Structure 1
Amino acid sequence: MSAKDRPAYFMIQDAIEQARIQPGGTFVEASSGNTGLGIALIAKQLGYRSKIFVSKSCSKEKIKVLIQAGAEIEICENSNGLHDFHSTQFRAQSFAATHPNAYFTNQYYNTQNICAHYKTTGPEIWEQTQGRITHFLSGVGTGGTISGVGRFLKEKKADIRIWGVEPEGSILQHYLQYGKAPKEISPFDAIEGIGRNFVPGSFDPQPIDHIFQVQQSMTKLMARRYLAETGIPSGFSSAALLACLHTYHNEMALGPAHTVLLFFPDHGSRYVSKLYADSLDFKTASSTL
C-alpha cells in the first residue's frame, strides 16, 4: 500500500462515473511505480485491465509487484513530460489515444489527484493531530499530495507551514519562487518518486510556503541511518524528508512548540536494490515484518 492508492482510486472512479471508459477497458498511466500499482490493483478488482508506462530508472521491486498485480508494463527512456517523445507520459497518452476503450488517467494533470488528498489525507491529518499540526513536510513529484493536503490544512489554519522536498536540480522550487520554469532545464539528482523538469498541472503552488532541495547521496545516507536506528526501512522519497531535516534544521527553526508531520508515502521494501541491497539492518528488519 502507498499514499498513491488514493488518487488512483479517485481517478478510476471518476473515469467510470463519467463514462470515459467502458467495462473491460484498459486504464493507462505513466508512473514511477506507486500510482501504477494502485491503478493496477483497483482496475483488476473492478474487471478492467491496466497498462503502466515506467521509466528505466524504476526499481526492479516495483516492476515485479506491478506484474504480479496484473499490469502490462512498458519501460520508457525517461519521465520528462508530454513534450518528450520518449517519456512515460507521452507514450502513455499516445497508447490511450490509439487503442480502443483505453483511458489515460494522467496523474500529472488529473484534478482527482489533488482532490483525493484534499478529501481524505488532509482531513485525516487534521483529525489525528487534533488540529495541533504546525508544519507539513512532503516530497513533491506530481504535486497532488502537497497541493491537496496543503489546501485543506491552510483552510483550517492559515499559519500552518506547508513545505515540499525535491532533489537538487528539480525545477519546482524555482517555479514556486518565480512563477515560471527556468529557461535552462538540466538533469536533476534522481530520487525516485519526486522531482520534475516540467511543471505538472496537479502542482498548485498557492498553499505551499517553501520547497527545499536535497542531495541523492544524503538521502541514501539518511535512509540507512533511519533503518539502523529504528528498524524501519523508508522509501526513497520518505528518506528525502529525513535528508531535508538534517540539511536545513537550522533554517527551519523548529522547537518544542511545533508539531511537525513528515509524510512518508511508501515503504522501503520497494527500493531494496537502490537503498538497502547490502544492508544487514534491512535483512534483519525484513525478517520481522
Structure 2
Amino acid sequence: MNNIVPIPLSIGNTPIRKCDFLSEYFKTNIFVKDEFHNPGMSSKDRPAYFMIQDAIQRNRIQAGGTFVEASSGNTGLGIALIARQLGYKVKIFVSKSCSQEKIDKLEEAGASIELCDNSNGLQDFQSTQFRAQSFAAKEQNAYFTNQYYNTQNIRAHYRTTGPEIWEQTDGQITHFLCGIGTGGTISGVGRFLKEQAKAIRIWGVEPRGSILQHYLKHRTAPNAVRPFDAIEGIGRNFVPGSFDPQPIDQIFQVEKDVSIDMAQWYYQHTDIRCGFSSAAVLASLKCYSAAMRFHSDDNVLLFFPDHGSRYLSKLYAENSKVSTSNAHSLNG
C-alpha cells in the first residue's frame, strides 16, 4: 500500500494579520499568524496529518487500528479529527496539567483519554510519553505517532508553515518568534526561512527552567534538571528528537505569571484571547524588547499556535482584564 492519504479537513493556509496595537507599542511592524483557523483550532493539525499519512503509507497500522499519542491536547485533537474520519480509533495520553477545555474537546472528538502524572519523557514511567509508548507496544494494531521524535513533525512545518509565511510576507519577514514544545514548529519553519534568507532571526520562547536554552548554547543537556514553569504546551526537561537547534538564533525564557498577565493585557487592548504559549511569546517581547533591538522597518512575525478559548480556566477565569497591581508595569 502506497497511497497518499488525502487531507480530510482544510488544514493550513492560515491568515497573517498585522497587529496595530503591538506594532505601535513596540515601535516596529508586528504580525501574527493565527493557527486557530485550522479545523482543530491549532497548528498541531499539520504534524498530525503528516504523521498519520506517513504511518498509513508505510503500513505501520492497519485499517481500524488505534493511533496513540502523548499530547498536551492540541496534537491529540488533530490526530483524533483526522484519524477518526479515516476509520481509526484514537487514544491520547495527557498530563494532569492539561486544561479541562482541551480534555473536553478530545472527548467530543471521540478520543479515549488517559491522565498521567507528567510529560517528563520516556525515562519517567509515569509520563505521557512512556505510557503511550508502552500501550502501543502491547496493543494489537496500534501505532504511537510519537510527536517528540517523529521527523514528520518537523517536515510538516518545513513543507507547509514555512512556505506559507514566506509567501504571505512577500519574503519581507525579518524575525520569527514562537514557543518551543516538541520543537517541530521552530525547527521546520526556521529551516525553511533560513534557506530563503540567512539574515532572518529565528527566536524561540520557553518557560523559566526549561532546558532547551541551555542545549542551544552548549549542545548538551544540563547536568541538573529542575522543574520549569508550567506554561501549557511549551517547555521541556529533555531534548526532543524533533528539536533541531541548527536554524535557531536564540531562545528566551519567560515566567508563567508574566505570561498570564500578558494574556490579560493583550485581551484588554485588543479584545483577542490568545493561548498560553502565545502569551509566553508576548511576555518575551515585553521582557526582552531592549535586547531584541527592533528597527522601525522590521517585520516581526509572532506564531500563535492556538486560541485562548482552550485556556479560559487558566488565563481568563478570574478576571478578563489585567489586574490593577500589574497594570502599571505592563503599560509603562
Query: Does 1:247 find its partner at 2:247?
Result: no
How far 1:111 sits from its partner (Å)?
0.2
Aligned residue pairs, count: 282
Query: Does 1:202 find its partner at 2:218?
Result: no
1:5-26 deviations in Å (ceiling 9; x for gaps): 0000000000001000000000
Q: What is the match of residue 80 of structure 1?
A: 120
Q: Secondary structure at the match of 2:165?
A: helix
1:92-144 deviations in Å (ceiling 9; x for gaps): 00000000000000000000000000000000000000000000001000000
Query: Does 1:154 find its partner at 2:194?
Result: yes
Query: Does 1:65 find its partner at 2:88?
Result: no
How far 1:281 sits from its partner (Å)?
5.7
Query: Does 1:113 find its partner at 2:164?
Result: no
Query: Does 1:50 find its partner at 2:90?
Result: yes
Return the match for 1:170 from 202, 205, 210. 210
The aligned amino acid for 1:132 is Q
After the TM superposition, which residues 1-289 of structure 1 pair with which residues of structure 2 at under 5 Å, given as runs?
A: 1-280=41-320
In structure 2, do the counterparts of structure 1 residues 44 and 118 end up closer, same or farther at CA, with 3 Å as the change threshold? same
How far 1:45 sits from its partner (Å)?
0.6
Residues in 2 aligned to 1:277 and 1:42: alpha-carbon distance in whole angstroms: 31
Q: Secondary structure at the match of 2:282?
A: helix
What is the aligned-residue identity percentage? 73
How far 1:279 sits from its partner (Å)?
2.8
Contact preservation (8 Å) 1:236, 1:268: yes
How far 1:278 sits from its partner (Å)?
2.0
Contact preservation (8 Å) 1:231, 1:281: no
Identify unmatched segments of 5+ residues in structure 2: 1-40, 323-332
Identify unmatched segments of 5+ residues in structure 1: 283-289
Residues in 2 aligned to 1:280 and 1:168: alpha-carbon distance in whole angstroms: 25
How far 1:280 sits from its partner (Å)?
4.3
**TM-score where L is the length of structure 2:** 0.84
**TM-score where L is the length of structure 1:** 0.97
Q: Secondary structure at the match of 2:294?
A: coil
Contact preservation (8 Å) 2:207, 2:231: yes
Bigger RCO of structures 1 and 2 (CA < 8 A, at least 6 apart): 2
